[in-house]
Chain A
Amino acid sequence: MSVGQPPLNSPEIRRLSPVLGPGHTYATVTDKIAAIVLTRPVSLGWLMGFGLCFTFVMILNIAVGWLIIKGVGIWGINIPIGWGFAIVNFVWWIGIGHAGTLISAILFLLNQKWRTSINRFAEAMTLFAVACAGLFPLIHTGRPWMAYYMFPYPSTMGIWPQFRSPLIWDVFAVSTYGTVSLLFWFVGLIPDLATLRDHAIGKPKQIIYGMLALGWRGSARHWHRYQSAYLLLAGLATPLVLSVHTVVSFDFSIAIVPGWHTTIFPPYFVAGAIYSGFAMVLTIAIPLRAAYDLQDFITMRHLENMAKVMLATGLIVAYGYFFEFFLSLYSGNKFDVFLVQQRLHGPYNHFYFALILCNILTPQLLWFRKVRTNVAMLFVMSLIINLGMWLERFVIVVISLTRDFMPSAWGRYSATVWDYATFAGTLGLFTMLLFLFVRVLPAISIAEMRELVAETTEEHQ
């Protein structure tokens, strides 16, 4: 499975490179995936990984607890840089979530068979990333216990939210996205939960999986409606995922701050979101398939396809950077021209250069098949792109806010230990939830794998 294996490099073999390893039947795919959850004992590696993540979750608890006691002053934010890490992390996390929806919805509508073995954990990744993302605006308000003010509810004060504000759009976009992602994920899980119910040994597991499976029994009439609902959800999630990052980009582009007030933001944010999301799917898929011997299900073809999507979206992002740069200069607006100069020569220019290196230059290696089929290289590449996309949001948020219209309003920003602790804490929360997920739910959709078995055996006959 690494570079140097001659069969992988010949184009004839490559066309046949399977989405499912050979020799699988309905029973073997079921047993192999269900066994991870039902019979496999907890390994030392899992415990250590989980323990490490749990430590970071405790750091998150301390960081958020201290924030609630002291207020947002413990962070590096100031006037004029009111946004800082909280918004950088928010946009980064929500972007990561988008690849999950893209894989589960858009690739489903396009009838891409290779999505089957990666859609389940990509959707889980979406949910956990949205959970981490939602935390940041909440604690950034300073008084998170008052956050319900943002929802329209009949209050005795007789006030309603200002629906013309991007802040309220964000509340609706992110909460709708979280809800629909959860529904989509759960609907996909119902048949698999029924499988787990029927294979589980011991009352507690049978009862828990039984309740979650809602009494699913695979009736043809049920499947008939189920397929309609699933297709409709995919069709609804597709415009939704595009709208969510568009709304997130409106948070910036509705404002008049130089560097934010551009019409290119919505498409370029969406492309960036998918870019970072696919990088995160690879970051998760590569260790997952190694740890649980899933090379038959998550094959080289999957990894290579994801690398290609990363390359394509990376080029769209590069195009976005170029036009942002070009239009600022072409506009002749002196504030926009000044902002470009600040990105290149200002106090944060090393962030900008690191961003170009991570997001535009390094991914060009993906043009080479040798790199796309080298698991270790792909893993490193995915980490670099994740870092690059974080830097992108940092550059957008911080450089623009430190160099406003009036020199008297200029400022500097540096994050404090609490900013870093909160960010590291959400990384821990995200990974901890993933660790729990692979132990309690099937990380690959069993029902869809059976469909794939049926299709591939038919092709061979």
Chain B
Amino acid sequence: MIEHRSHTYGVLGEFDTEHQLIHAAEATRVAGYIHFEAYAPFPVEGLSDALGLKRNKVPLITLIGGLCGGLGGFFFQYWCNVYSYPLNIAGRPLNSWPAWIPVTFELTVLGASLSAVFGMLALNGLPQPHHPLFNVERFCKHATTDKFFLCIEACDKKFDLAEAARFLQGVHANHVSEVHDD
């Protein structure tokens, strides 16, 4: 039995509507669980609050990416056209910065967009080809279609297989099942 427990990822409960999921997520948080996660086929309004999620780091990463793109882009043009390869065209000033604004702007947007997307993927730990939840057949069939799931993870200090399963049934979950880690 103990051997078996070491391969448990968590306990998964299924819900029919997003309201049930929000309710269950709130109840799980109130019950003192910390390591649990909700799954939905579309972004559910209010779910982040129910899980107690704080503001994420994607906007900060995007801001940094945009600043790097813009400043890097501007000074790169300055360096190219003033120091490395100065071109004297009809005696115009080498530091003709207004002419560099279009490229600076484009590079700001490019830097910010790339960091928004790759920052989001990195924080989410994607790409991740396999996850224990994919061992659950009903999860694969319904999680990206029409059902809502809540998983209490085994790494939670409070976790006990039987108790967590009973808890999920108590918040009206259907098809409560154990998720294996292999």
Interface residues of chain A, those whose CB is within 8 Å of chain B, are 25-27, 30, 152, 158-164, 168-169, 172-173, 176, 179-180, 183-184, 186-187, 191, 194-195, 197-199, 210-211, 214-229, 232-233, 236-237, 239-240, 243, 247, 250, 447-448, 450-451, 454
Contacts and interface: CB of A to CB of B under 8 A. Distances in A.
Nearest to A220: B38
Given A215-B128, A221-B51, 20 more contacts: A30-B41, A158-B84, A160-B85, A162-B81, A163-B77, A163-B99, A169-B106, A176-B110, A199-B145, A214-B126, A217-B39, A218-B40, A220-B25, A220-B40, A223-B43, A225-B123, A229-B58, A247-B102, A250-B102, A450-B41
| A-B pairs, 8 with minimum CB distance | A229-B120, A26-B146, A214-B127, A160-B80, A164-B99, A215-B128, A228-B58, A220-B38
B112 interface: yes
Contacts of A152: 76, 80
A198 B145 contact: yes
B59 A228 contact: yes
B118 to A, nearest CB: 9
Interface in B114-144: 114, 116-117, 119-121, 123-124, 126-131, 133-134, 139-141, 143-144
Nearest to A451: B42
Nearest to A187: B117
Contact of A215 (B43, B81, B117, B130): B130
Contact of B109 (A169, A216, A225, A240): A240
B152 interface: no
B18 interface: yes
Contacts of B119: 229
A30 B145 contact: yes
B30 interface: no
Contacts of B80: 152, 160-161, 163
Contacts of B43: 223, 226-227, 447, 451
Contacts of A450: 41-42, 146
Contacts of A162: 81, 87
Contact of B81 (A164, A219, A222): A164
21 contacts: A26-B41, A160-B85, A163-B100, A173-B102, A176-B107, A191-B41, A197-B144, A198-B140, A198-B145, A199-B145, A215-B129, A218-B144, A220-B51, A222-B124, A222-B126, A223-B48, A225-B56, A228-B58, A228-B120, A233-B113, A243-B109
Given A183-B113, A222-B126, A243 B102 contact: yes
Interface of B: 18, 25, 37-44, 47-48, 51, 53, 56, 58-59, 62, 66, 76-77, 80-81, 84-85, 87, 89, 96, 99-100, 102-103, 105-107, 109-110, 112-114, 116-117, 119-121, 123-124, 126-131, 133-134, 139-141, 143-146
B117 A218 contact: no
Nearest to A190: B126
Contact of B107 (A172, A197, A218, A237): A172
Contacts of A184: 113
Given A223-B43, A229-B116, A217 B81 contact: no
B42 to A, nearest CB: 4
How would you classify the secondary structure of chain A's contact residues: helix, strand, loop or mixed? helix
B127 to A, nearest CB: 4
Given A214-B128, A239-B109, A27 B47 contact: no
Contacts of B77: 163
A154 to B, nearest CB: 9
A152 B78 CA distance: 13
B51 to A, nearest CB: 6
Given A158-B84, A164-B81, A219 B38 contact: yes
Contacts of B81: 160, 162-164
Between B43, B53, B126, B143, the greatest number of chain A beta carbons within 10 A of the residue's beta carbon is seen for: B43
Nearest to A183: B117
B143 A218 contact: yes
A30 B37 contact: no
Contacts of A223: 40, 42-44, 47-48
Between B114, B130, B146, the greatest number of chain A beta carbons within 10 A of the residue's beta carbon is seen for: B146
Contacts of B120: 187, 225-226, 228-229
A224 B131 contact: no
A179 B116 CA distance: 13
B4 to A, nearest CB: 24
B42 A454 contact: yes
Contacts of B134: 217
A248 to B, nearest CB: 11
A217 B39 CA distance: 7
A27 B127 contact: no
A420 to B, nearest CB: 33
B124 A221 contact: yes
B87 to A, nearest CB: 6
A209 to B, nearest CB: 11
A184 B89 CA distance: 40
Nearest to B120: A229
Contacts of A173: 102, 106
Contacts of A199: 145
Contacts of B145: 26-27, 30, 195, 198-199
A260 B100 CA distance: 21
Contacts of A221: 37, 51, 53, 124
Between B66, B102, B140, B141, the greatest number of chain A beta carbons within 10 A of the residue's beta carbon is seen for: B102
Contacts of A179: 110, 113-114
Given A160-B85, A198-B143, A215 B126 contact: yes
Between A164, A211, A218, A222, the greatest number of chain B beta carbons within 10 A of the residue's beta carbon is seen for: A218
